[in-house]
A and B are shown apart, each in its own frame.
Chain A
């Protein structure tokens, strides 16, 4: 259903990016600054490169499009690729929706071209290549950890056919990935102006990683060249999302400026960029807080989208005459007002219940604040070492009183060490409700070499992904599917607004063995097996005999000496000694007075042998 809506959207795709230069390439740089209701400042950089004929010829000359990336895409038959490297968690409840959602850690999903053979191999190669390109641990993505979702992650690009072959999709996350400077530097190198000129010069590693939330994104997809959509161009969107907590950044915590946020001012636009604009969302100015922006913006644009008005202060850097350094700052006036935050229509939290390291449960709570039903797709991606029990899956609302039946369930049970557990649910959330999705799991016990070096830190479980279409644009900043740049979201009213939410990642501490003990454990367990083997071997290979114990009963020392002697003489004899049980002894004592005839059996022969061995020593 949602997929249908998306397809309708590309069919009606409109893209107002007409003018192409000599090479048919375009580059746009944009920055959105928005004061979030919680007082944080959200800055969103988007660098959009559109490459004509990008998908056609493998060795096409790259003008603005990064050569390294284009080679990777061509080599591995990639149609569409979405990579995000994120630190921190986007808090939907307080911050609204980001332009592009990303889970903590690394996330990669890709659609391969129709007719691609051995998708798994290509997927491995792609993740390895990207790992090198972005200095991230994406090489740890392998087909064993990857999933092939059935409903989520519909292709976002423009394609000739509306049908999707789901076997061409691969999805994987690395929730443990830590994003830092070494990822930002190669990211900036993909830009036509690098970080030397233009908005990218604001991306200062020290200041970026100081943020509460930072996310790098690489999104490649085929996009319609024009309204008719007869031809496609390859669109690359490089995004950087940052959320700053002004309280941490310094005094006068309500005010912000480029210098405060990024540490530097802007020297000018990238000369290769077709447009270079900064949008400041000033909708909240005058309502919750009053502030002035300096310098004065080039223009104010009012965007009416889905019934909600947003007022943007736009700075067109191309048109601005920058003499020295350019910086935007906002200065607040009047008393500090804590604005009441109205949470967005749809948001979710996820956590683990239970105690101990034996059994547990994952709870995903999805809030629907809308007055109507809201259909969502929930995609859970649980690694194999957290085996979930499908039969314990409960979708309830109204604090567990009402059980909901999902429209569709798609479950692929995991396999040890080779496949994660994938669960997709199509659920209709009742109006103004909190839907709780609960599933039980067991803690696994891994082999000692499967634990990471800091085993007691725990294992991360990737975020659940919720896909839905919103009925209105409150708190919504997403770019329409038919648009490439942020400017295309202005006045872009549609029937529905697709949204993707990522929940928290989870940290699970699995029970650990003692890592220092392999030899001891192997020795002890083998000893126990040998304890069984010895007596059973004796029992099955030897015969019971009566033995005259006159030598053995002389005392411990004598018997030890005897044993030593017999050992030296290599007469490997008696192994086990068993005293006659009490009942028999009783019999014996009764009868001991009767006749004395030595038993001509092996025991007497043995005695003789023993005597001779004694004399020989």
Chain B
């Protein structure tokens, strides 16, 4: 498969994806899809955006009510979009979606190159027996195509685009951040991550993989003359525990600190801009307070809604903290330490975890991290629960709308049915993510450790201990 073949298949994918989206936009399903609770949450639904823009135009502060939860910067952009590009809205959404797909493709290409490079560097560590397990050029060419296909033809992403949710834009920002991450563009990563954070808060966790990734990219190949920055970092290094002090640790400290500071500066300037646009800090409560405190208990694919519907009032705050920490910080540090050698995997895992455990998840978020996974298609043979996960995804995707109809329209089922399906969906996602992580570790282990002498002619077991 040559470059022209790749180009042709890419073009084919985009063309087909575009036609598919155009068809769905003009079909009778559009209204049904955009009304679905799985796709449109209070955070991302286009109806709420229209409401906010209508209020804004009539001189009513959209943040004084409880109908609009986008950031003020978003409000300004959507206002312009509705004013000047109202007939072309579907086209805008489709184009952004295709661009996201293409960015993911470029990300995957870059990442595969990086994987290949690393494999070549470390080849001497691997034993001869594992040659079959190594990445091949074919994998490197194919996996980016899988990524773009998994994005563009993912039904979850299709629904998300057709429902015109603002997740399309946050996915675009995320894809840009992933792309700049693999490319090592510090400024761009910080900018797009802060934009994504401004819109939906949870991408803030991606700062850590981004900082690590940028650190790898800026790793000095040889020792240069000490600059003032390095001098400064020398003192920082002194503060570190001895175990972390290494020849490159001053680089790491400066690099990570620079990324963090740059991100904070961008984030705060975006917040200041938002304050300037909306004329006050009221939006903080309406946007981030809404995401963190979960006052709207409309069902979605997450765990929050029914949990906090049924929660006892005096435990509400405790569990809010517990659940939000679970989504934001609980796994951040351990996973960062564990998968620090592959920050892109870390970023994808964190995206998956937040998409699962965030307060108002939508199918658009799920589809985005699912589309990232084919970058690791070479570890799929190690998955143990692949079939279960696939079956659970299919069954819950069918069963969810069915029991929703039974509950809300036919009134012959109740909330437990829908929640049960949501639980199954969450469990499937959990299995998928943990399985991917384990398989990745397993492959690394086998590449490095498995030599013929490990096996004494009998079965051996790999265990986590």
Contact = CB atoms under 8 A, between A and B. Distances in A.
Contacts of A538: 464
B414 interface: yes
Interface in B307-333: 307-313, 319, 323, 326, 330-331
Name the residue among B426, B454, B459, B463 with the largest chain A CB count within 10 angstroms. Answer: B463
Interface string B284-305: 0000000000011111000101
Contacts of B60: 390, 411-413
A199 B103 CA distance: 84
A188 B132 CA distance: 96
A413 B64 contact: yes
Contact of B434 (A517, A532, A552): A532
Interface stretch (A154-162, A240-248, A299-307, A522-530): A522-530
A445 B465 contact: no
A615 interface: no
B416 A517 contact: yes
A542 interface: yes
Contacts, number: 255
A256 interface: no
B463 A576 contact: yes
Interface in B257-287: none
A611 interface: no
A573 B408 contact: no
A537 B133 CA distance: 27
A357 B55 CA distance: 25
B461 A580 contact: yes
Contact of A592 (B310, B326, B455): B455
B454 A593 contact: no
A537 B338 CA distance: 11
B434 A535 contact: yes
B412 interface: no
A421 B446 CA distance: 62
Contact of A548 (B35, B356, B460): B460
A518 B311 contact: yes
B461 A579 contact: yes
Interface in B381-439: 381-382, 384, 407-409, 411, 414-416, 419, 423, 426-427, 430, 433-434, 437-438
B465 A517 contact: no
Nearest to B330: A533
Interface stretch (B16-24, B46-54, B89-97, B228-236): B46-54
B359 to A, nearest CB: 13
B303 A529 contact: yes
Nearest to A582: B381
Given A409-B58, A528-B303, A540-B334, A356 B408 contact: yes
A414 B62 CA distance: 11
B401 to A, nearest CB: 12
Contacts of A421: 65
Interface in A408-462: 409, 411-417, 421, 442, 444-449
B459 A592 contact: no
Contact of B295 (A417, A541, A546): A417
B67 interface: yes
A321 interface: no
A612 interface: no
Nearest to A584: B446
Contacts of A415: 64-66
Interface centre among B309, B414, B457 (most CB of A within 10 A): B309
A359 B56 CA distance: 23
A527 to B, nearest CB: 8
A522 B464 contact: no
Given A536-B335, A545-B462, A597 B50 contact: no
B245 interface: no
B221 interface: no
B316 to A, nearest CB: 9
A115 interface: no
Contacts of B460: 546-549, 580, 588
B249 to A, nearest CB: 22
A588 B455 contact: yes
Interface residues of B, number: 85
Given A355-B409, A532-B356, A538-B464, A583 B310 contact: no
B381 A546 contact: no
What does DSSP make chain A's interface, helix, strand, loop or mixed?
A: mixed
Most buried by B among A355, A553, A599: A599
Interface in A559-603: 573-584, 586-588, 590-599, 602
Interface stretch (A59-67, A144-152, A266-274, A508-516): A508-516
Contacts of B54: 390-391
Contacts of B381: 581-583
Contacts of B452: 588, 591-592, 594-595
A34 to B, nearest CB: 44
A586 B133 CA distance: 11
A552 B462 CA distance: 12
A517 B458 CA distance: 51
B461 A521 contact: no
B223 interface: no
Nearest to B64: A413
A550 interface: yes
Contact of A521 (B129, B130, B419, B433): B419
Given A355-B409, A444-B298, A536 B51 contact: no
A546 B423 contact: no
Contacts of B319: 522
Nearest to B323: A529
A518 B315 CA distance: 12
Contacts of B415: 511-514
B445 A544 contact: yes
Contact of B310 (A411, A511, A518, A550): A518
Interface in A480-520: 511-514, 517-518
B309 A448 contact: yes
A411 B58 contact: yes
A550 B458 CA distance: 8
A224 B58 CA distance: 41
Contacts of A588: 450, 452, 455, 460
A608 interface: no
B423 A539 contact: no
B442 interface: yes
A445 B414 CA distance: 13
A543 interface: yes
Contacts of B437: 535-536, 539
Contact of B338 (A411, A514, A540): A540
Given A447-B297, A536-B334, A547 B310 contact: no
A617 B138 CA distance: 55
Contacts of A343: none
B312 A539 contact: no
Contacts of B445: 544
Interface in B159-193: none
A533 B426 CA distance: 13
Contacts of A544: 441-442, 445, 449, 462-464
A546 to B, nearest CB: 5
Contacts of A358: 35, 37, 408-409
Given A390-B55, A416-B295, A416-B296, A573 B465 contact: yes
A374 B460 CA distance: 89
Given A536-B331, A549-B461, 13 more contacts: A414-B66, A521-B310, A521-B416, A525-B423, A529-B323, A529-B326, A532-B430, A540-B337, A544-B445, A545-B463, A547-B461, A581-B442, A584-B446
What 8 pairs between A and B have smallest CB-CB spacing?
A: A413-B65, A391-B54, A540-B334, A591-B452, A535-B434, A356-B409, A518-B310, A521-B310
Interface of A: 355-359, 384, 387, 389-391, 409, 411-417, 421, 442, 444-449, 511-514, 517-518, 521-522, 524-525, 528-529, 531-533, 535-550, 552-553, 573-584, 586-588, 590-599, 602, 606
9 contacts: A355-B409, A387-B66, A447-B297, A524-B419, A525-B306, A545-B462, A546-B450, A594-B452, A602-B465
